[in-house]
Structure 1
Amino acid sequence: MSAEFGGRGGRQGRISQWLRGRRPKETAGDGGREAQLLATAAAGLPLAPAAHPGAGYGCSCDRVGCPTPARHPVSFAWQTQSTTDRAQIERWARHQPQANFITATGMVHDVLDVPLEAGREALERLLAAGVEVGPVAESDDGRMLFFTLTRGTPEDEDEWWPCELDCHPETMDEHPGLRWHCRGSYVLVPPARLPGGDDRRVRWVRGPEHPLPDPLSLLEDLTDACARHSDRQSDPAPAPWPLRH
């Protein structure tokens, strides 16, 4: 497989060009904020209002030193509040024009959340291999989000198989590699705005119209890409050349 992806020409080159060509379009403004939210809900992803950037790197919530500014739901009841109902989402979008929105995972879908560099590498490989990849979003805080079918919520809680990759919002810093957002977690959906400037956003690379894939069909490529990314991050900086004594 490494030989297949060793060069930049051929099919991989065309996919790379396609990915590069998609980004400028996706980054241009909100692209119709309400329309994007309704399209996301129409695809079956339940939404709820979230905080938005405040002054500087702050948050619109009243929590002093908010640990996740502009990245958390407004209501503590976000899991039961999350909905795909068009009329409700229209009301939220119009009455809270600055609000970001989250989607609750583990109900219909999960999200595999990886470092941006690793995600782009894996996405090229998956598309080149003809794998059905679902919706994918990029975040300007350096993450890529792969939306998949959920593992499900069994009726018998004893049958629920936990995974050490599971990620809850309050533990995200403990998962710098791959984070698996499932039951009890959430992620921002486009066109969310991030603190630190009007150009910092979450945007679609592949929109919500793409069918949700089985997470296991993506997992191996994503974990491999994350491992390579981690190795590159941990490599010591090369010594200057030529060496001088």
Structure 2
Amino acid sequence: MSAEAIGRIGLRVRLAQWLRKDVPETGAGGDREALLLAAAGAGLPLAPAAHPAPGYGCSCDRVGCPTPARHPVSFAWQTQSTTDHAQIERWARHQPQANFITATGTTHDVLDVPLDAGRDALDRLLAAGVDVGPVAESDDGRLLFFTLTRGTPEDEDEWWPCELDCHPETMDEHPGLRWHCRGSYVLVPPARLPGDDSRSVHWVRGPEYTLPDPLSLLEVLTDACARYAPDETPASWPLGT
């Protein structure tokens, strides 16, 4: 067995051990760092984000922040995002309350759906034997499916726009399925949400799972979103075009 294969097996074992720990993900600094490093080790580039302030406030100095504790602390988050363990450890230790975001569209995308639809889709995908990658649950009512990216083709002329693309400034326009790709981000576990101290973003399936092609999940996710939003017009997906 090659050294690379042995290393991959060792990473899976360590991640499984971290994720089985019966501790709050926002607890001890060591557990927080381990989870952040696990995400970085899976290829998810990270950058520091704001954290909750008393009540429903945000640690940033913006009056009436529209996305409290859910946004990066730096406007340079796209270039700042990294998988470098040493840098992530420095950030985590110097900013012990900070959440972290992962920038999408470089190594991975995120399909972000309402919680009930996401749970239904996850059950159906697993029952069908589909390789589902990492999945995170956000206590504001969303389920996040981490996938390979479709946003960095070798030939930039092959870049295809998608009506499901979601960027931070267009979140409210996508109450159903949101596709986070180039220019977007999501909170990565462990993250705290405003309000009740127990509200968080946490892994349902950890980053030790291999990132799947988003198209292998998309049909089931869009169908589930349509099922759980009967009074809304479901987002169309031009699979036949």
Shorter-chain TM-score bucket reads 0.7 to 0.9
Larger Rg, first or second structure (1 or 2): 1
Structure 1 residue runs of 5 or longer lacking an equivalent are: 1-22, 235-245
The residue aligned with 1:28 is 24
Structure 2 residue runs of 5 or longer lacking an equivalent are: 1-18, 234-241
Q: Is 1:27–1:203's contact at 8 Å kept on the other side of the alignment?
A: no
Cα 1:122–1:73 change in 2 (3 A) is same
Q: Is 2:26–2:192's contact at 8 Å kept on the other side of the alignment?
A: no
The residue aligned with 2:41 is 42
1:89-108 to 2 correspondences below 5 Å: 89-108=88-107
Partners of 2:24 and 2:231 lie apart in 1 by 31
Q: Is 1:26–1:204's contact at 8 Å kept on the other side of the alignment?
A: no
Local SS of the residue matching 1:98: coil
- Structure 2 residue 224 is the aligned partner of structure 1 residue 228: no
The residue aligned with 2:177 is 178
Partners of 1:183 and 1:191 lie apart in 2 by 23
Deviation at 1:30, TM superposition (A): 2.7
- Structure 2 residue 177 is the aligned partner of structure 1 residue 199: no
Partners of 1:26 and 1:111 lie apart in 2 by 26
The residue aligned with 2:164 is 165
Aligned residues: 212
Aligned residue identity for 1:179: R
Local SS of the residue matching 1:70: coil
Local SS of the residue matching 1:230: coil
Partners of 1:165 and 1:149 lie apart in 2 by 16
Deviation at 1:55, TM superposition (A): 1.7
Local SS of the residue matching 1:39: helix
- Structure 2 residue 84 is the aligned partner of structure 1 residue 80: no
TM-score by structure 2 length? 0.84
TM-score by structure 1 length? 0.83
Partners of 1:202 and 1:60 lie apart in 2 by 17
The residue aligned with 2:141 is 142
Q: Is 2:148–2:212's contact at 8 Å kept on the other side of the alignment?
A: yes
Q: Is 2:25–2:202's contact at 8 Å kept on the other side of the alignment?
A: no
Partners of 2:46 and 2:26 lie apart in 1 by 17
Deviation at 1:152, TM superposition (A): 3.3
Which contiguous aligned blocks of 4+ residues in structure 1 show a shift greater than 4 angstroms? Answer: 23-27
Name which of structure 1's ranges 25-34 and 57-66 shifts more when overlaid on structure 2: 25-34
